Chain A
Amino acid sequence: MPRPGFVLDVDRSTPPTLVWRGEGMSLERLPADRSRVIYAPEPLAAIDDIDGAIRRALLEPMDQDPLPVQLFPGMKLTIAFDDISLPLPKMRRPDVRQRVIEAVLDLAAEAGVDDVHLIAALALHRRMTESELRHALGDRVYDAFEPRGTLYQHDAEDPDNLTFIGATPEGEEVEINKRAAESDLLVYVNINLVAMDGGWKSTATGLASYRSLRHHHNPATMEASHSFMDQHRSELHKSNWRMGKVLVDAGVKVFQIETTLNTDTFPTPFEFLSKREWEWTAKDRGAYLGTAKSLSLAPTRLARKIFHSIEAPHQMTSVQAGDVEAVHKRTTEHVYAQQLVEVQGQTDVLTMGIPYICPYNVHSIMNPILVMCTGLGYFFNMYRGRPLVREGGVVIMFHPTQPDFHPVHHPSYLDFFEQVLVDTTDPHEMSKKWEERYATDEWYRHLYRTSYAYHGVHPFYMWYWGSHGMRHCGRVIIVGGDPAAVRRLGFVPASTLDDALEIAADVVGRSPTVTHLHTPPIVMADVR
């Protein structure tokens, strides 16, 4: 029986806490008697018969006819699936997407459907490589569809393959992938790693164009989402849902399949990363020491390669299919069951170690903009109710924050760092002054469409992602970060946690309460 999440009050006997620092880690001693550590619930049990559960979900969907009933010869069937940004880390083969898509294809074949397209729902993310597609879909699916040109990746800059559907009463334009919109049935295959994933966000974001995305990927929407993970208080969620209604009204028929995973994140020999430190065995301690020491000696490039080769053992805990909204409601319950931890009250200082990976640097580099996004966009938003840190409080991150950018994946990020952040760190100001120039830059557009680059506007979205956190916090400090890069982000560099607390003192006083978000594995705070 897995144990639920846990909030540890730190006292003098509490062992130091494991803190991620990008491709490294350290043990940090938090101030006694005023600190607490939030630990994720232990991984829920996986479904015993995963393929059977998938088949049942397809045959007994929620608020829709069984999938076989919706399939018929001569129909246009499109299967869209989540891209490389999920799950984190990538999971061991077979990937959930492969299992679900193979099940859908089996039913399609039984029904005599032969016009089937598979589309990676990239939105403005980078295209996936062949090996990444093979990992997600399996060789059988890849080899059957890719050579025929029926497995491809959504291109949000291809005017010939986008369709304008309509607009919401709020004036939000809905423009999505033409093939998906014109299909008799769109099957969307999700991996719902966090509560924000899935629902109408799958289609209205994953298959949308910049014209459409800009209506919710903007500072106003992001600042008003409290949090992204709480759909009742997320403007991002509401905007996507309004767009979903436009899709439904236009006759776009979606069969939604959502899956949840447990938080079994790290394989041997990295299991200690998921454990609570006072339960570490001698072997765990040895593994920590060996790992931390080796990483500190290894060139960053090597450490990065080691970490990105990790394949997580996480397994499926639920699968549900059918009507988008009904499915998503159930999915969210499963996500919460795995990730939610009840936390009493807010804190003056929230600390977080930023790991080597986020949704936007798989097989890539966690550049400074992604550090900001992971800390203030993701970890800060892992709450329901109230933010973990009080308004005007301090966030302390741990990360090297080197000004290091992947030249293929993140070309516009580098320009954003060198040009936009030099000018302003205010999301609203940069949105007005700079966003369009980056969104329409022909070179970025070319690289997004033909290479493996994130869209030119993507660094702006990452910055906006953290806008609620930036506005909420009185100060953001990065421990161990490159001082110039940290200052460029508008944050304050510190060399140690003690230094950071000293720097925070003029904002939160000399004896602030401290809460450490012990993640990964993913944990979400239900703040009362």
Chain B
Amino acid sequence: MKALQVRRNVARLGLARVASALAPSAAVRVGPLEHASIDPPELPGPGWHRVNPRLAGICGSDLSMIEGHASAYFDDWVSFPFVPGHEVVGTLDDGSRVVLEPVLGHEARGFQPPFPGAAPGDGDDYAHLATGPLEPGIQTGFCCSTGGGWSSELVAHETQLHRIGDDVPDARAVLVEPLAGGIHAALKAHASPSVRAAIAPIVAVLGAGTMGLAAIAGLLRYCPGVRVVVGARYPHQQREARRLGAHEVVPAGELVRAVRRLAGCHLVGDHLSSGAHATIDAVGSEQSLADALRITRPRGRVVMMGMPAEVTVDLTGLWHRETELVGAYTYGTETMPDGSTARTFHLALAVAEAIEAERWLSATYPLADHVDAIAHAAAAGPRRAIKIAFDLRRDV
């Protein structure tokens, strides 16, 4: 079958890193990603299904890996060669359509779940991700045993599959996974003691690409009473954040002042004296992390949703302000503001319908045009796009 595949090749990763400074397309051409004919993955055992991807999104973490910016942290948590692609809507052999929950959880890897009914992402011991019958891999799209969405076939465990009805278009379904990630971050922000203690808490969102918008959608649907203020770099992102119902949307460079006005606090040096009760960093850069720390009030929470890799940040403010810095990688079983529990993917399916998430799918490409596709995804903001995906429904 045809697939886009990443091989471990340190030299090509280095070249991609250098070339990405010039243009994303250059990084694709010289980097570790190749368009190849490979054998479909084997079914690992009972409970596994063949999935033929229909649409597979291009995520920021995919771009980071292709451009050679991914952290060395992942060296022991992924297995090469792998087929990227974890934002997937596909078809099973019986013709039913599914959305993939890509985390390769305990049950998929033959381990007991941490609790009955656990989602793949639950648990507090990640040993299963690097051991067991499958090769290491934090999720589908980074594991050589399962294949990935950027191909015509992958394998997925029953626990990873969410069947969807005929009324859910592919273009909506492919956004469910990123929406789940954003909702998870939103609920993490809302779980902050600072937010819980406030009557009308302020939650700031840095960045309004797909993940930022997903977090905004999650905040507005599942976190009652929050005032959402968004710093978005591009006008189309600002428009979409407003359409979702964010209370204040400003250009990214104005976010500090917008939060200050909303909080009614002082600006002391380059930090707000108070600020947002929680901040979701949907960018994941050195600058965005520093900004998030500046605008979050003492004892507030910064939720890192964007993948930061290696950054240098002055954490004196974090120490002094006793800021909580928490990550938000994925999804699982959520504790809702009213104390009930829910699966993030179920929440995401509902949000996808409510906001007509298919509007976010800006362009699709066949695998053969992967250079253009990745260049488009890497420049989604300036090119007025939100989500770029591969379309596997045609010949690949």
Does any Cβ of A come within 8 Å of B314's Cβ? no
Does any Cβ of A come within 8 Å of B384's Cβ? no
Question: Do the beta carbons of A443 and B257 come within 8 Å of each other?
Answer: no
- A3 vs B66: C-alpha distance when bound (angstroms): 76
Identify the stretch in B154-162, B186-194, B262-270, B370-378 within 8 Å (CB) of chain A at 4 or more residues: B262-270
Q: How many residues of B contact A (CB 8 A)?
A: 11
Q: Which residues of B contact A411 (CB under 8 A)?
A: 267
- A317 vs B258: C-alpha distance when bound (angstroms): 49
CB distance from A257 to the nearest CB of B (A): 40
CB distance from A436 to the nearest CB of B (A): 13
Residue-wise interface mask of B (258-297) relative to A, using a CB-CB cutoff of 8 A (1 in contact, 0 not): 1011001111000001000000000000000000000000
Q: How many A-B residue pairs have CB under 8 A?
A: 23
Question: Do the beta carbons of A418 and B257 come within 8 Å of each other?
Answer: yes
Interface hub of A414, A415, A419, A443 (most chain B Cβ within 10 A): A443
- A68 vs B264: C-alpha distance when bound (angstroms): 51
Question: Do the beta carbons of B266 and A418 come within 8 Å of each other?
Answer: no
Interface hub of A419, A442, A446 (most chain B Cβ within 10 A): A419
Question: Do the beta carbons of B266 and A446 come within 8 Å of each other?
Answer: yes
The residue from B250, B265, B267, B273 contacting A418, defined by CB atoms under 8 A apart: B250
The residue from A414, A415, A419, A442 contacting B266, defined by CB atoms under 8 A apart: A442
- A411 vs B266: C-alpha distance when bound (angstroms): 11
- A443 vs B262: C-alpha distance when bound (angstroms): 12
Residue-wise interface mask of A (384-416) relative to B, using a CB-CB cutoff of 8 A (1 in contact, 0 not): 000000000000000000000000000100110
Question: Do the beta carbons of B257 and A441 come within 8 Å of each other?
Answer: no
The residue from B250, B254, B257, B264 contacting A442, defined by CB atoms under 8 A apart: B264
- A102 vs B154: C-alpha distance when bound (angstroms): 91
Question: Do the beta carbons of A418 and B254 come within 8 Å of each other?
Answer: yes
- A181 vs B172: C-alpha distance when bound (angstroms): 70
The residue from B250, B258, B264 contacting A441, defined by CB atoms under 8 A apart: B264
CB distance from B287 to the nearest CB of A (A): 19
- A476 vs B61: C-alpha distance when bound (angstroms): 49
Question: Do the beta carbons of B250 and A443 come within 8 Å of each other?
Answer: no
Q: Which residues of B contact A441 (CB under 8 A)?
A: 261, 264
- A453 vs B101: C-alpha distance when bound (angstroms): 54
- A446 vs B258: C-alpha distance when bound (angstroms): 18
Q: Which residues of A contact B261 (CB under 8 A)?
A: 415, 419, 441
- A411 vs B260: C-alpha distance when bound (angstroms): 12
Question: Do the beta carbons of B265 and A443 come within 8 Å of each other?
Answer: yes
Residue-wise interface mask of B (62-92) relative to A, using a CB-CB cutoff of 8 A (1 in contact, 0 not): 0000000000000000000000000000000
- A415 vs B260: C-alpha distance when bound (angstroms): 10
Question: Do the beta carbons of B258 and A419 come within 8 Å of each other?
Answer: yes
Question: Do the beta carbons of B258 and A443 come within 8 Å of each other?
Answer: no
Closest to B272 in A: A443
Q: Which residues of A contact B264 (CB under 8 A)?
A: 441-443
- A418 vs B253: C-alpha distance when bound (angstroms): 10
Closest to B249 in A: A422
Question: Do the beta carbons of B260 and A443 come within 8 Å of each other?
Answer: yes
- A419 vs B265: C-alpha distance when bound (angstroms): 16
- A415 vs B255: C-alpha distance when bound (angstroms): 11
Residue-wise interface mask of A (440-463) relative to B, using a CB-CB cutoff of 8 A (1 in contact, 0 not): 011100100000000000000000
CB distance from A439 to the nearest CB of B (A): 13
Q: Which residues of A contact B260 (CB under 8 A)?
A: 443
CB distance from B234 to the nearest CB of A (A): 14
- A221 vs B265: C-alpha distance when bound (angstroms): 32
- A441 vs B260: C-alpha distance when bound (angstroms): 10
Q: Which residues of A contact B254 (CB under 8 A)?
A: 418
Q: Which residues of A contact B273 (CB under 8 A)?
A: 443
Closest to B265 in A: A443
Closest to B267 in A: A443
- A446 vs B266: C-alpha distance when bound (angstroms): 8
- A418 vs B250: C-alpha distance when bound (angstroms): 8
Residue-wise interface mask of B (232-265) relative to A, using a CB-CB cutoff of 8 A (1 in contact, 0 not): 0000000000000000001000100110110011
Closest to A407 in B: B267
Q: Which residues of A contact B265 (CB under 8 A)?
A: 442-443
CB distance from B253 to the nearest CB of A (A): 9
Interface hub of B257, B258, B273 (most chain A Cβ within 10 A): B257
Closest to B253 in A: A418
In order of increasing CB-CB distance, the 9 nearest A-B pairs are A443-B266, A418-B254, A415-B257, A415-B261, A418-B257, A446-B266, A419-B261, A443-B267, A442-B264
Residues of B within 8 A of A (CB): 250, 254, 257-258, 260-261, 264-267, 273
Starting from the known contacts A418-B250, A418-B257, A443-B267, 5 additional A-B residue pairs (CB-CB under 8 Å) come to A415-B257, A418-B258, A441-B264, A442-B265, A443-B264
